[in-house]
Structure 1
Amino acid sequence: MEHEKLEKQLGLWDVYAIATGAMFSSGFFLLPGIAAAETGPSVFIAYLVSGLLVLPTMFSVAELATAMPKAGGTYYIIDRSLGPVMGTVGGYGSWLALVLKSAFALIGMGAYISIFIEVPIVPVAIVLTVVFGLLNIVGAKETTALQKVLVAALISIMTFYIAQGLFSVFSVDFFEVTRTQFTPLFINGATGFWATVGMVFVSYAGLTKVASVAEEVRNPDRNIPWGMFLSIMSAIFVYVAGVFIMVSVLDPTEFRQDLTPVATAGEAFMSWLPGDMGILLVVIAAVAAFASTGNAGIMSASRYPLAMARDKLIDKWFSKIGTMGTPVIAIIATVFLMIFFLVAFDVAEVAKLASAFQLMLFALLNLAVIVMRESKIEEYDPGFNSPFYPWIQIAGMILSAVLILEMGLLSIIFTVVVSIFSVGWFYYYAYGKIDREGAIFHVTARLGKRKDYGLEREMRGILREKGLREEDPYEQVVAQAEVIDEPTDKLSYTTIIKQASDILAKRLKMEEQQLVDDFCKAQDLGTIPLGNNTVINHIRVEKDCDPQMVLVRIPESITVSTEGYEVLDEDETGEVENLCAMIFLVSSSENSSQHLRIIAHLAEMIGSRHFIERWNSASNESELREILLRDERFINITITKQNSTRELIGKKIMEVDLPGESLITILKRNGDIKIPHGSTVIEENDQLSIIGDIEDIEVIKEWRKSVEN
């Protein structure tokens, strides 16, 4: 099912801003004093331990989000791994928990504003909800632009705050401070300490919410893991150092009763600033923290109903993308739900109940990694692989279960109620409308159960959307591909396979008949995509080799049955006539993921609107290759004595100084194609095909333009 796609507008610092903004609010500006009442001065250690304990889930989410960068984050991942019933639980629960946390953040923002300006807190929170909602409708880039400003202000002020605080602590007798303020370190022993770890653990929960906007992230394989890693490091530093300062400078008894400990501590060591400048900076930082949590919360939360509507779990209107490229209906629904909670409930109390549900989601996300890996789905191709698999995922699940027990009975009851409602909704509304079953059926397939083949097709679609990785040799493979372009009406499917196998056998130093047999078997296995008058016939061989390709242009009509084939276009079934193009690809079975990425990109190129028109009208072999190449990474140069290219005549390939890591992949001489080697000597009238990075090819294009003039 095709859906309107969200535009990829977000880079590394957008990811960082969303993840960081989702973590800083009540966990730092309200919670430290309450947490200190449980464990005493060791509260700063509890924040450190909690930050480290969230790492297993961070690693799991980074892997899953790079493999499945789709809107809906937690919901989408759980649905595709554990099935739609658990997906419904994850979708509704994540949406509800994030809405509550965002509403609570805006209540906190109103409370800090009221320190300087007497304002009614709930009405201010409602106005802020509407404002952030409108900003989210305008566009994701505009939303994250504000988010980056808020996070930059927060981190800048907190860095100054921490620097001043540490200077104050270490400028006096440090050992005396330690003796008076940190003794006893644990006031309630190990029980109180671990209870505090569970209490503050949820402060880091916002880190994983960035997965819900993964569909809008450019280069998710790089930007999602790095953004999350930088964010958690920033959060741990600010939390631990900031709380350490509070413990050091505040009276222990007063600290444990203080709901604005950051401001109180700031007054103690920033009194040298003029007037109320110290407390004003803290209030600005707090407002920025709460605003960034609320803003990022609306953005992330709205992607859950969007993803659920795409999957027919709720009404399709929630999946509508507005003219600004944002999910308008989903954002409006999220804003109205936040306003409802602000008006009808004590948001602070209800938000606490959602903590156990967030921990349950953490456990499911760790389980999802195990399910996806053990499913052995070839198309599962994460750009980041969690270390220490599966032990770190098992530890994450056990940790979540232990911390859920620390949340109290009401939180557990809240989690059970939401889960029961979600399961009931699935069987009432969605059962019978969907046919997917999740990757867990691939795990049970190893025990003789059925697979969910629809998931494999969907994962292939994700590979197409993600595109190639920098290390994938796509351009080199296409540029070096041999072309069969014979104007004959006696071609048959079998004849073409034999011709292509003969070429590939010479390149791979394999038996031709083995390749013929493998290509013929590929049809029976359903591994030949069809569509747009094109066939891609691809196999993997048990040999350490570079990928090799043959392109075939068919001048006359060939009819091929699609029975048993994997189709690019669901509308093209039965007999495909006027087959104009065939592409043969052979890769090593040791590079299975790379093989699939190359196929996915070929499918993307073949699916373009004017592909077959350009293919049929190409005047020579070079133009056929260029159709499959990304234009900005490829260039042809003809060597002639009539311009400055004559300087290359007589030079060996290894002696040609090309910018960056550009590579001469094909040398065409007297109509023959040659694969150039370092010792190959360039002659007059040679045509060189060069591939490289975009900026390097631009340099060569400028040079070619100058020599031709």
Structure 2
Amino acid sequence: MSDELATDITLTGAVAVGVGTMIGAGVFVLPSLVVAEIGPVLVAAFLLAGLVALLNGLVVSELGTAMPAAGGSHHWVTRTLGPLFGTVAGVADWLGLTVATAFYALGFGVYLDVVVELPAIAFGVVSLSPTQFGAVLAGLGFVALNYVGARVTGWTEIALVGFVVTVLVVLAAEGVRTGRLGDVAGAFGGDAVLTATALVFVSYLGYAKVAALGEELVNPSKTLPRAVLGSIVVVTLLYTVLMLVVDGVVDYDALADEAAILAAAEALFGTVGVAVFALVGLAAMATSANVSVAASSRVAFGMGRMGLVAGWFDNVHPRFSTPYRALQVTGALVVVLVAVGDLLTLAVLASALHLVGYTLLAASLVVVRQVPDYEPDFRVPAYPLVALAAAGASVALVFAMGLDVVAVTVAIGVGAIGWYLLYGRHYATEEGLLPKYLGQRAEELPPLAASAVKAARPETVGHRTLVALSNPRTEADLMALGCAIAAAEDGEVLAVHIVTLPDQVPLARGPTYLDRVDEDPRALLDTASEDSILDVPVETRVIYSHQAVEEVFATARRADADSVVMGWRGRPTFISGRAASVADELAHDLPCDTLVLKDEGFDPSRIVIPTVGTDNDALCAGVARVLQETFNTTVTLLHVVDGEGKRRGGERFLEDWADTHDLDAETIVDTSGDVERAIAEAAADHTMLLISATERGLLSRLVRRTLVYDVVEEVDCTVLLAERPGTRSLRERLIG
């Protein structure tokens, strides 16, 4: 998966991500705007905005631990409320991050103009002020850095965030030490506190980025909520004290166009303070803008992967392994917004769009809480009051921004719904809990409601078979089997080439690594598309991972596959140098029907099925019917009993079993009681052995060298192993 990081992020690193994303243009440029437009209510505005962020952070923390593989709010909303609302959340998230990037870039331009004198630029009818010119350069620079994959991560990011926070703490501490603080009681006065809160909420955007890190976190069940909530608390406390200091040392009447934080620095530290804080402001806004550019493009990229927007967005650069198409669109929008917008407009629009997403997340939490066996590692306290308060506060802030902002936000939402109905509904890969629940009860709904539910549900294919490819020698046979199974269900094939990278190679560098070793991961998939039979539609995908079988099953869950077809290359294929307990765990949590082909020349003309009547044997019968219809296969059933006196009972069992599964088959009853020998002898007279797991999971039986493993290794014909998943709860289906 080319959009994932390959590092384990600790609590310190996760808090750095949250704090670093939040501390940006908000605190460095908004105080002056708030005072000029509304009045000196900074302390109340920043504190109340922090409380709203904390309410939403609790919701984000639960959803993030419940669905740790998530890529953002649109992913969570899609899996719960369905792809229609997921499209609204995704568009709001994407545009909100893009607008926030423009806001950060414009703030960067303000501070860059303090450090160096910038010129005004005119391009025909378009003219840019010095601040706008600096913002355009910054925006293009951040997009370019993300385009080539140069991102600030790890200890570098922690150090940079630590530097910014330290300098701000020094300013706050000096104000407290000298007693130059504003009037706390007066700070909460005025009638426009809610409007000011809505304006400064943009200063808290970014904590959801921590939740989107998902499985990259060390011990996410504990790290994620601590990092999300901890970063909000740290930033809220820092903002509140800073605003008290600003209120105490800044003369707002004489402020003019100067940034309030620079005026405070000058009052406490002189001209040196101005220079230092100008550089700190540049660093803080550069960090926020860079993270927002990356997050914005990856939201568009993720929506493309889920079929909610054109697949053009999920193209990965062949050299830099970045979502370059999404970055191109994001960069163009940032430049336009910087050229036509101002800090105040960009701030309220970014806040409004994010608040729409947070409202939908609260609704998602209400839906998922209705699942009986839903057991996340972190639960929102005082549910449902906190969820309702989060949604209510988010909606209230949107309306506090004014009817013009509400109108723009509603127009974007309506546009997103229209896009889904015209495009996304035909390509969405997720149905969601709520649409599935309502769809199953359509007859109980009023006619108008039933029609609306039907219109909103995605037009998904009837059956999706995932074919995992790695070996050119077996590719054609695996595709033939996968296409036959999909065609029988009027479905499609998802052919994936999972490229297993060394642990030391980051996932995002997969394409670059393969370029160095002269491997083309697409070549195998191009051949697979050509080898498709029976007019089955084929979707192809390259996925980079440090795991093998684990990634096959994880991809099957994400794609909501109904069956998996994969190759067998012996014991190392399944355990990949990892502990056998990993394979054992996987075996008891298969995502769907799983078929493993040990290919000795794919010839399904004569197959034999050993059966004792298990559910897995029923899967073998279904596969056999497909092979009969597709390849005119002759099927033989084998049943082993202990002693000649049990022959007649065995024959009746096979007759009844064949009738039950509507299978035209010959029968063999072996009375030796030696199951392994009987299977080996029958396999010698057939071209394929179709065998199932029995009392233990298939993979664990293979690892432990039990009967199935020995048979697979010893017979000369092609072997197809089949296993059905155990009973999976709704929670398991939800979180994958």
Match of 1:418 among 405, 412, 416: 412
Counterparts of residues 451-530 of structure 1 (less than 5 Å): 461=554, 492-494=611-613
Would the alpha carbon gap of residues 48 and 349 (structure 1) be closer, same or farther in structure 2, given more than 3 Å must change?
closer
SS in 2 for 1:321: coil
What displacement does 1:97 show?
1.4
Query: What residue is the counterpart of 1:16 in the other structure?
Result: 15
Cα distance in 2, alignment partners of residues 554 and 15 from structure 1: 54
Match of 2:391 among 393, 397, 402: 397
Instruction: Output the aligned Cα RMSD.
Output: 4.3
Query: What residue is the counterpart of 1:28 in the other structure?
Result: 27
Query: What residue is the counterpart of 1:366 in the other structure?
Result: 362
What letter corresponds to residue 365 of structure 2 in structure 1?
V
Cα distance in 2, alignment partners of residues 52 and 230 from structure 1: 13
Identity of aligned residues (%): 27
Query: What residue is the counterpart of 2:487 in the other structure?
Result: none
Query: What residue is the counterpart of 1:502 in the other structure?
Result: none
Query: What residue is the counterpart of 1:56 in the other structure?
Result: 55
Would the alpha carbon gap of residues 335 and 391 (structure 1) be closer, same or farther in structure 2, given more than 3 Å must change?
same
What displacement does 1:264 show?
0.6
Cα distance in 2, alignment partners of residues 150 and 308 from structure 1: 31
Query: What residue is the counterpart of 2:323 in the other structure?
Result: 327
Q: Give CA deviations for 1:611-657 in whole Å, capped at 9, x if unaligned.
A: x9799569xxxxxxxxxxxxxxxxxxxxxxxxxxxxxxxxxxxxxxx
Q: Contact 2:184/2:244 (CA < 8 Å) preserved in 1?
A: no
Counterparts of residues 536-547 of structure 1 (less than 5 Å): none
What displacement does 1:369 show?
0.8
Would the alpha carbon gap of residues 193 and 66 (structure 1) be closer, same or farther in structure 2, given more than 3 Å must change?
same
Query: What residue is the counterpart of 1:157 in the other structure?
Result: 167
SS in 2 for 1:385: coil
Match of 2:158 among 148, 158, 172: 148
Match of 1:343 among 339, 343, 347: 339
| TM-score normalized by the length of structure 1 | 0.61
Q: Contact 1:58/1:208 (CA < 8 Å) preserved in 2?
A: yes
What letter corresponds to residue 690 of structure 2 in structure 1?
N
What letter corresponds to residue 109 of structure 1 in structure 2?
F
| TM-score normalized by the length of structure 2 | 0.59
What letter corresponds to residue 76 of structure 1 in structure 2?
H
Q: Contact 2:201/2:351 (CA < 8 Å) preserved in 1?
A: no
Would the alpha carbon gap of residues 414 and 59 (structure 1) be closer, same or farther in structure 2, given more than 3 Å must change?
same
Would the alpha carbon gap of residues 399 and 584 (structure 1) be closer, same or farther in structure 2, given more than 3 Å must change?
same
Would the alpha carbon gap of residues 490 and 415 (structure 1) be closer, same or farther in structure 2, given more than 3 Å must change?
closer
Cα distance in 1, alignment partners of residues 402 and 208 from structure 2: 23
Query: What residue is the counterpart of 2:288 in the other structure?
Result: 293
2:72 corresponds to 1:76: no
What letter corresponds to residue 164 of structure 2 in structure 1?
L
What letter corresponds to residue 417 of structure 1 in structure 2?
A
What letter corresponds to residue 406 of structure 2 in structure 1?
I
What displacement does 1:73 show?
0.5
What displacement does 1:254 show?
4.0
Would the alpha carbon gap of residues 215 and 91 (structure 1) be closer, same or farther in structure 2, given more than 3 Å must change?
farther
What displacement does 1:270 show?
1.6
Query: What residue is the counterpart of 2:65 in the other structure?
Result: 66
Cα distance in 1, alignment partners of residues 77 and 583 from structure 2: 37
Cα distance in 2, alignment partners of residues 52 and 605 from structure 1: 53
Match of 1:584 among 696, 707, 711: 696
Would the alpha carbon gap of residues 4 and 106 (structure 1) be closer, same or farther in structure 2, given more than 3 Å must change?
closer
Would the alpha carbon gap of residues 70 and 476 (structure 1) be closer, same or farther in structure 2, given more than 3 Å must change?
closer
Aligned length: 496
Query: What residue is the counterpart of 1:103 in the other structure?
Result: 102
Query: What residue is the counterpart of 2:228 in the other structure?
Result: 228
What letter corresponds to residue 298 of structure 2 in structure 1?
R
What displacement does 1:386 show?
2.0
Structure 1 unaligned blocks of 5 or more:
171-176, 466-472, 482-488, 499-552, 559-574, 586-601, 619-709
Q: Contact 1:80/1:455 (CA < 8 Å) preserved in 2?
A: no
Cα distance in 1, alignment partners of residues 19 and 179 from structure 2: 27
Would the alpha carbon gap of residues 148 and 464 (structure 1) be closer, same or farther in structure 2, given more than 3 Å must change?
farther
Query: What residue is the counterpart of 1:316 in the other structure?
Result: 311
SS in 2 for 1:235: helix
2:139 corresponds to 1:129: yes
Would the alpha carbon gap of residues 413 and 327 (structure 1) be closer, same or farther in structure 2, given more than 3 Å must change?
same
Query: What residue is the counterpart of 1:6 in the other structure?
Result: 4
Would the alpha carbon gap of residues 435 and 114 (structure 1) be closer, same or farther in structure 2, given more than 3 Å must change?
closer
Cα distance in 1, alignment partners of residues 220 and 556 from structure 2: 12
Q: Contact 1:71/1:306 (CA < 8 Å) preserved in 2?
A: no
Q: Give CA deviations for 1:430-469 in whole Å, capped at 9, x if unaligned.
A: 233336431113554786779999999999848979xxxx
Q: Contact 2:101/2:293 (CA < 8 Å) preserved in 1?
A: yes
Structure 2 unaligned blocks of 5 or more:
119-129, 444-452, 467-550, 559-579, 589-607, 618-674, 681-686, 715-736
SS in 2 for 1:169: coil
Q: Contact 2:262/2:274 (CA < 8 Å) preserved in 1?
A: yes
What displacement does 1:33 show?
3.5
What displacement does 1:39 show?
7.2
Query: What residue is the counterpart of 2:268 in the other structure?
Result: 269
Q: Give CA deviations for 1:277-329 in whole Å, capped at 9, x if unaligned.
A: 21122112211111111011011101111111112222213212344443232
2:353 corresponds to 1:357: yes
Cα distance in 2, alignment partners of residues 10 and 242 from structure 1: 33
Query: What residue is the counterpart of 1:204 in the other structure?
Result: 204
What letter corresponds to residue 493 of structure 1 in structure 2?
V
Would the alpha carbon gap of residues 43 and 475 (structure 1) be closer, same or farther in structure 2, given more than 3 Å must change?
same
SS in 2 for 1:54: helix
User: Which shows bigger deviation, 354-363 or 66-75?
Assistant: 66-75
